[in-house]
Amino acid sequence: MSEHFTTLAGVVVDTRHWIGGERVASAETFTDISPIDGSPLGEIARGGAVEAEAAVAAARAAFPEWAATPRAERARILHAIADGVEKRLEDLARVETLDNGALLRSHRRGVMPRVAHNFRFFADWLLKLEHEDFETRGHTNHVSWDPAGPCVLITPWNAPLMLATWKVAPALAAGNTVILKPAEWSPLTASLLADIAAEAGLLAGVLNVVQGYGAEVGSALVSHPDVRRISFTGSVPTAKRIAAAAAANLTPLSLELGGKSPLLVFADADLDLAVDLAVEQYDNAGQVCLAATRILVESSIVEEFTERFTAKAARLVQGDSRDEATDLGPNIHPRQLEKIDGFVRRALDAGARAVIGGEPNAELGGLFYRPTLLADVAQDSEVVQEEVFGPVLTLQTFDTEQEAVRLANDTRFGLAATLVTGDRERAERVTAQLVAGTVWVNCFFVRDLRAPFGGSRHSGVGREGGNWSFDFYCDVKNTVTAPKGWQQEVTRHG
């Protein structure tokens, strides 16, 4: 096997970039490590300014033809990509499990089917994308969505392919060309996506995949003057650097930046439901931007809630992500585990109490951190205010509805919120006051691509999903036509 390939769980993955319809190597590589057992997965091409320039040039060259491709044909190709994803679903699931440590059963049953759905949804939405014409003093207004140009899409490591295609699919549907920069901790399924797209008949240069570090290839991409859109999912500090680079070219940005979401449990709630939703926040080892990591419980029920929560959390199985019985896998990287443990240790030193967990799982070793619930935490403490991005929840109490809302909104984030109550009127009052891009009432993580998605405050800029995606990835144009003048033009030139 060539040095440019790696074979994982029987799946061959090309470790080079995909630029202009060809595989491109780099002078340097970086080692991709599996969080499950620390084994090396491959030597990945490490891009920089040269590869960034080549990818943007390829995207720019391919743009006119792809932008002029009729909507129906673009939609057909996106459906063909979805067919390819479904055909290789098991390959994608196995590779991504090794690469980012998330559960194989989740990849098989939910994540990879969602990847295919992303392409199908935006392909179908494209065909019905329209705005009804309207009149202004007898003049006709016609709204259209024009492709913007090359788009740089920078994606995270916690759900690599699903979150990448959440951006890639609408950008391609809109008629744009794409440079995808996957996270360096989980780059492999992006490479497989390039193969699938090529097999589906996507024109060379329409989708480019460039691997490497953000400070190297990422910086070169987001500062490039020929890039027309940038979409990024990740941390606030990185987003600020991207925004500063994009500002020089006035490149429009869409930023989804994580959160510190609350879960409010009122005394009139279905307590079994509330506990189920709270324990669900440990999904993907807590590496979920939408996770409601701040559990806020009405004081009168906190003892019963805590008892039930502790019992249910104790039944979670932590272990190898490839095992069907596993509920919690490892965290992604040694640096991430160190960050998580640092948050917890500082909180404990400051007087917090670990109701459960509070340390790495010494029995498993490696990158496994015990599911943790911290009580006796101050509202202004670091662990309450900052995103941990690990299996760490905090428990606080409130006595009134007003106090619950105040605590829920008292962070710099505003991505999501979850509310559990048996009172419909209370739900309406509270949700109206919560600062969040998404609010779930008596449920969690119900997502629909027709809905707007994004965050408030430091959780992001902009919304994507449905028409909101096309509004971002296109130049929206309004054409105003006068009712008279046609005959005069014919007479003058005839």
Q: What percent of the chain has pLDDT over 90?
A: 97
pLDDT for the residue numbered 484: 85
Mean pLDDT of 63-67: 98
Alpha-carbon distance 365 to 404, whole Å?
A: 38
pLDDT for the residue numbered 43: 97
pLDDT for the residue numbered 491: 47
The CATH 3.40.309.10 domain(s) of the chain lie at 262-441
Task: Examine the residue annotation and report whether 289 is marked as an active-site residue of this protein.
Answer: yes
Q: Which long-range contacts (CB under 8 A, 24 or more apart) does 304-312 make?
A: 304/271, 305/265, 305/271, 305/274, 305/275, 305/278, 306/355, 306/375, 306/395, 308/271, 308/272, 308/275, 309/275, 309/278, 309/279, 309/373, 310/355, 310/356, 310/373, 312/275, 312/276, 312/279
- Res 61 pLDDT > 50: yes
Q: What percent of the chain has pLDDT over 70?
A: 98
Catalytic residue among 51, 96, 289, 387: 289
- Res 385 pLDDT > 80: yes
Per DSSP, the chain holds a count of helices (H) and strands (E) of: 17, 22
Mean pLDDT of 435-458: 96
Write the CB contacts of 69 (distance below 8 Å, at least 6 apart in sequence): 175, 203
pLDDT in tens, 91-134: 999 999 999 999 999 999 999 999 999 999 999 999 999 999 99
Mean pLDDT of 444-450: 94
pLDDT for the residue numbered 493: 44
Q: Does domain 5-257+455-479 have CATH number 3.40.718.10?
A: no
Mean pLDDT of 67-75: 98
The CATH 3.40.605.10 domain(s) of the chain lie at 5-257+455-479
Q: Does domain 262-441 have CATH number 3.40.50.300?
A: no
Task: Examine the residue annotation and report whether 256 is marked as an active-site residue of this protein.
Answer: yes
Catalytic residue among 51, 184, 256, 464: 256
Mean pLDDT of 194-219: 97
pLDDT in tens, 152-177: 999 999 999 999 999 999 999 999 99
Alpha-carbon distance 378 to 397, whole Å?
A: 11
Confidence of residue 488 (pLDDT cuts 50, 70, 90): low
Mean pLDDT of 346-362: 97
What pTM was estimated for this model as a whole? 0.95
Mean pLDDT of 264-283: 98
